Amino acid sequence: MFNDTYNTKAIILDRQSFREKDLRVIVFTEKFGKKEYIARGAKKPGAKISGHVEPITLASLMVASGKNLDYVATSQGDNFFADIKSDLNKVKLAGRVINLVNSLSKEGEDHGAETFCLLNDFLVFLDNNNIREIDYFLYFTLKFIKILGYAPDSEKDNIGDLKISLDLIKTLKFILENDFKKINQLFLKASEEAKLKYAVQTLLANVVGEYGIKLNK
């Protein structure tokens, strides 16, 4: 029996060695936002829990409170996103998105449920669809920074040095209001995508500056 346990869905963001036989698992949970747990014995040969706490996995966790750190009592993988993991380009894209969420999320923040849904929706989309030669990371980033409170200001007519045109406003609104399957049907001219990229990168730079972090490429 475990004392002080709770259950939650979680997307595994990262895991690191912890002590001789354990792993420190960084997750984004459905109920509590970003959390760090210890997976005891996960480094032992043949440990069943290991495959259920690997990055880019949606898992159902039972978490038990420890003296200093909470630990994963049980983990059951609900979606291993097998198609993503079999495609190097998809792995790279998922990795960039997960790194963004991990870098810009802190424990205790109140945007957890929205971010969990956004990340899970993106991974499900990526797992079930062929990807085109478009910047999906750009679209995810725009949606994520809106959740963080850094959406484009409708009262301003510029983002950084970029003058906001009516077409750009329509594109930003379309991305923010639609799911990834619908966004996948969006076709932009090279000049339009360049303006969108500049706008999103400018907004992201504001978030990064506020958080005082450095994003990995």
Using the structure block, give the residue that is written with the tokens 């619908």. Answer: 182
Mention every residue, 6+ apart, whose C-beta is less than 8 A from residue 116: 9, 11, 28, 29, 30, 33
Task: Name the superfamily (CATH) of residues 5-81.
Answer: Nucleic acid-binding proteins (2.40.50.140)
For 93-115, b where at least 16 C-beta lie within 10 A, e where not — what string? bbebbbebbbbbbeeeeebbeeb
- What are the residue boundaries of the structural domains of the chain, listed by start? 5-81, 83-211
- Rounded distance between C-alpha atoms, residue 35 and residue 48, angstroms: 21
pLDDT (tens digit, 0 to 9) for every residue of the chain, 217 residues total? 446 899 999 999 999 999 889 999 999 999 899 999 999 989 998 888 988 999 999 999 999 988 888 999 999 999 999 999 999 999 999 999 999 999 999 988 878 899 999 999 999 999 999 999 889 999 999 999 999 988 777 666 677 777 778 888 899 999 999 999 999 999 999 999 999 999 999 889 888 876 555 555 4
Confidence (pLDDT) at 121: 98
Confidence (pLDDT) at 8: 94
Residue 98 token pair: 């997960």
Confidence (pLDDT) at 159: 76
Confidence (pLDDT) at 217: 47
64: left (phi over 0), alpha (psi -120 to 50) or beta: beta
Residue 79 token pair: 């979606």
Using the structure block, give the residue that is written with the tokens 């996960």. Answer: 42
pTM above 0.85, yes or no: yes
